[in-house]
Amino acid sequence: MASTLHTLKLADVEGPLHERLAQTIATAIEDGQLGRDERLPTHRELSRLASVSIGTVTKAIDLLSVRGIVRGEVGRGTFVMKSPSSARADIVDLSLNIPPPVVTESTMSAASARAARSVLGILSGGLYDLRGTRVQREIFTRWLAENRVSLDPDEITLCVGAQQAIYLCFGDLKARSNLIACEGATFSGAIAAAANLGMEWLPVDHDEEGMLPDNLDHALAKSGCKTIYAVPVCQNPLGLEVGLERRQDILKVAEKHDAYIVEDDIYGIYAAKKSPTYKALAPSRVYYLTSLSKCLTPLLRAGLLAPPADRLGSLCSALRAQAFGAAPVASELACALIEMGAHRQAADDLTKEAKIRTRMALEILRLPSVPMPAGSPHLWLPMKAMAAEKLARRAGEQGIRITPPDACSIGSAKSSGVRLSIMAPPNRYDMEDALRRLVRLMDDPEEVVV
């Protein structure tokens, strides 16, 4: 069936142009202007109707495809599958802290072809390039130098995502101390790594900028702890950002006690305060790690670790024992996406989307403020442990998954609550619906959540 759509006025909402166009087309489908199995106008015609570029149309159609609203058929065009309301998920997952899909099929295909050509030229299957090839490391350091930190390719190693980097760092520091200091709630992957290594956590009181320097000083002095785990941008799960002055104060405490900082910068694209990284401020005292999982795609498991220079050899020995380094194919695909500029477009899309979703969540959840109002991939709802457990259980019964309250806790009552990964749903429709249902659960007089 040919399209009956003859006019297209862009939705008057915030967000990237392609997102506004996608919402406009979705609304046309919802209103019955386009029926099930009806063919959409061509990309060129949509471009004309909406007064946007064909590239914007392509991105909008890709977004609708991800949402399950339209489907493309080679040689035939793009067809309506279902209305946006019927395309909404039966289960909304707010527990996994992953970004919505921003790498299109065409971009991934082009990057894959590029990676396939280059990876076949890597000698000996990459087994002699344990840290990644020199070219790969140069590409990764150029990526980081754009907005985060300047590193030399010779001082880094590629690894299997940030999770492996965390494990390597903790393992390298265990001989100095069996304790790790951080806020009273932290990343569940770091908790798992510490548990596997037989290490324990030292909770430190915090405010809206993270660990309080005086409390950290006292904790290190009393315990002898020599390792500090820091997620200074979008602290997971508390959603905090650490400013320059606080970072400098934390470093002074670390130097006073000869402690090292493991800096997890995986959410760096969301930095609003634009503070230098701990690594830039004190290279010899910081193990710096990040990956592409939160700023491009989690499909690659492409991570990077920059330890103090004198610890690189030891870490590479541990890396060899674990995995012989990151998979060359995954590293090449990551490099291809970076060289194509996909990371810049993804960062732009994700930060704009996070800002919009954060504003929506503030309104829906009736929150007076959040630590990162310019946009964060997750929000923290403080509440008593029993109330958090009850909310998680009742939400699960209604098809809403939220992070189990005890998954991020390391024993501080002040850090009790639930984390909501507002960027996890592929679209805003599901996020909004899930948040409104959570509010009804918290307001439910029949089983009050306090």
Instruction: Specify the pLDDT at position 108.
Output: 94
Q: DSSP label at 284?
A: G
Worst-scoring range by mean pLDDT, 62-76, 134-148, 351-365?
A: 62-76
Query: What separation, in Å, do the N-terminal and C-terminal C-alpha atoms of the chain show?
Result: 54
Instruction: Specify the pLDDT at position 33.
Output: 83
Pairing of strands 379-382, 302-306: unpaired
Tokens of 65: 């495809």
- 212/254 Cα distance (integer angstroms): 13
Q: Please determine, for residue 289, whether its predicted confidence score (pLDDT) is greater than 50.
A: yes
Q: Select, from the ranges 56-60, 65-69, 301-305, the one with the highest average predicted confidence (pLDDT).
A: 301-305
Q: How far from the centroid of its chain's Cα atoms is residue 416's Cα?
A: 22
pTM exceeds 0.85: no
Question: 10 Å Cβ neighbour count for 312?
Answer: 17
Q: Please determine, for residue 3, whether its predicted confidence score (pLDDT) is greater than 60.
A: no
For 263, list phi and psi in degrees, rounded to 5.
-95, 110
Residue 190 backbone class (left: φ over 0; alpha: ψ -120 to 50; beta: rest)? alpha
89-138 pLDDT per residue, tens: 678 999 999 999 889 888 999 999 999 999 998 888 888 889 999 999 99
Helix ranges restricted to H, 184-285: 188-197, 213-223, 244-256, 278-281
Q: Are 443 and 436 in contact (CB under 8 A)?
A: no
3-state secondary structure of 175: coil
- 400/370 Cα distance (integer angstroms): 22
Instruction: Specify the pLDDT at position 446.
Output: 58
Worst-scoring range by mean pLDDT, 277-281, 351-355, 410-414?
A: 410-414
Cβ neighbours for 407, distance < 8 A, ≥ 6 positions apart: 188, 191
Name the burial class of residue 274, with classes exposed (0-12), middle (13-18) and buried (19+) by CB atoms within 10 angstroms of its CB.
exposed
Instruction: Specify the pLDDT at position 1.
Output: 46
**Structural domains of the chain sorted by starting position, each given as residue range(s) with its CATH number in brackets:** 17-87 (1.10.10.10), 92-103+342-447 (3.90.1150.10), 105-339 (3.40.640.10)
44-64 pLDDT per residue, tens: 999 999 899 999 999 888 888
The more confident residue out of 129 and 216 is: 216
Which of 241, 296, 282 has the alpha carbon at shortest distance from 265?
241
3-state DSSP helix/strand/coil % of the chain, to nearest 5: 50, 15, 35
Question: 10 Å Cβ neighbour count for 314?
Answer: 14
Instruction: Specify the pLDDT at position 395.
Output: 94
223-271 pLDDT per residue, tens: 999 999 999 999 999 999 999 999 999 999 999 999 999 999 999 999 9
Instruction: Specify the pLDDT at position 4.
Output: 61
Q: Please determine, for residue 10, whether its predicted confidence score (pLDDT) is greater than 90.
A: no
Pairing of strands 179-183, 157-160: unpaired
Cis peptide before 405 (omega within 30 of 0): no
Indicate the average pLDDT of the chain.
91
Sign for the pseudo-dihedral over CA of 153, 158, 162, 164: negative
Q: Are 184 and 204 in contact (CB under 8 A)?
A: yes
Across residues 185-204, what is the average pLDDT? Answer: 97
pLDDT band (50, 70, 90) for residue 448: very low
Tokens of 174: 């265990």
Instruction: Specify the pLDDT at position 450.
Output: 43
pLDDT band (50, 70, 90) for residue 29: confident
- 59/72 Cα distance (integer angstroms): 13
Q: Are 270 and 234 in contact (CB under 8 A)?
A: yes
Q: State percent of the chain over pLDDT 70.
A: 94
